[in-house]
Amino acid sequence: MEILRTKVEVRSKLSQVRNSQKNIGFIPTMGALHEGHLMLVENAKLNSDVVVASIFVNPTQFNNVEDFEKYPITVDKDLELLKQKQVDFVFIPTVEELYSSKSILKFDFGYLDNTLEGAFRPGHFSGVGLVVSKLLNIVKPHKSYFGQKDLQQVAVIKRLVEELEFDVQVVTVPTIREHDGLAMSSRNIRLSPEGRTKSTILFQSLTYAKDELKSGKDWFKIKEQVVNRFLHSAMCSLEYFELVDTHTLEIKNSISDVSQASICIAAYVEDVRLIDNLEII
């Protein structure tokens, strides 16, 4: 496994790969790796000749300075995990390497900027779009892998790739969960033992709502029950709980085709913000 720290290094090494007619799989991460990230790597290894991962905590996608400062940094552990998975290259740029000058470019993703994560984290997806554009331009992969846990982010990146005509296939990999259903996230390690126990309310709420919807229950009554659960749960506060079209992320009040719908949730457990979603299939 080779560690690359500059754009020049990445472009030089990977141009050799492309010239040898090998295809490149790319997994962009912010580090603090877990089994969810490693599943992305495994998918990339199955479908690519050469696998590249990046580790970069992108400041432009944080609308909360405290959240950025508290984001876990575990680079040595991350590199060991990637080495065990036989990743070929790891790109670890500094902020100065990716943002040589203060960025003034902003992305507007329309409806996706004004709903769910977009509504509660203004500017977040502009930052995501900016850094993903940079990384795709530098790495130039054939396929790039993202987790379904960040369902809205995947929708944003697919729109970005489509509209800017990046020559890359976006591959979505199913969410990896802990034994009790909690979606694996780099933020989970910030939870206290008690907070970790309480955090199961997210997945429990999703599965409850899914079962109720499939049995024909009214969405508003289901949502009311979930809101009440959070109101009576110590250490947990609900930010949103919505029924959406899986592909467009448009918020729905009811569904006619369960195979096209998902439930999305964001909540705070202690001071840690967690998100999750579940397809209704």
Domain with CATH 3.40.50.620 in the chain: 2-173
Q: What is the pLDDT of residue 64?
A: 85
Q: What is the pLDDT of residue 116?
A: 96
If you compute the radius of gyration of the chain from its CA atoms, what whole number of angstroms results?
19
Q: What is the mean pLDDT of residues 189-194?
A: 96
Is residue 160 packed enough to be buried (19+ CB in 10 Å), middle (13-18) or exposed (0-12)? buried
Q: What is the mean pLDDT of the chain?
A: 95
Q: What is the mean pLDDT of residues 167-187?
A: 97
Q: What is the mean pLDDT of residues 144-157?
A: 97
Specify binding-site residues for ATP.
Answer: 30-37, 147-150, 176, 184-187
Specify binding-site residues for (R)-pantoate.
Answer: 61, 153
Q: Given pLDDT bands bounded at 50, 70 and 90, which one contains residue 65?
A: confident
Domain with CATH 3.30.1300.10 in the chain: 186-274
Cβ atoms of 136 and 6 within 8 Å: the answer is: no
The CATH class given to the 2-173 domain equals alpha beta
Specify binding-site residues.
Answer: 30-37, 61, 147-150, 153, 176, 184-187
| Predicted confidence (pLDDT) at residue 66 exceeds the cutoff of 80 | yes
Annotation marks residue 37 as catalytic: yes
Q: What is the pLDDT of residue 258?
A: 64
Residue 45 has a CB neighbour count (10 Å cut-off) of 16
Q: Which two tokens stand for residue 67?
A: 């959240």
Q: How does pLDDT run across 67-107, given as a tens digit for each residue?
A: 899 899 999 999 999 999 999 999 999 999 999 888 899 99
Q: What is the mean pLDDT of residues 13-42?
A: 96
Q: How does pLDDT run across 230-280, given as a tens digit for each residue?
A: 999 999 999 999 999 998 999 998 877 666 899 999 999 999 999 999 999
Residue 234: phi, psi to the nearest 5? -65, 145
Q: What is the pLDDT of residue 270?
A: 96
Pick the catalytic residue from 37, 142, 232, 247.
37
Q: How does pLDDT run across 151-175, given as a tens digit for each residue?
A: 999 999 999 999 999 999 999 999 9
In the CATH hierarchy, which fold is given to the domain comprising 186-274? Pantoate--beta-alanine Ligase; Chain: A,domain 2 (3.30.1300)
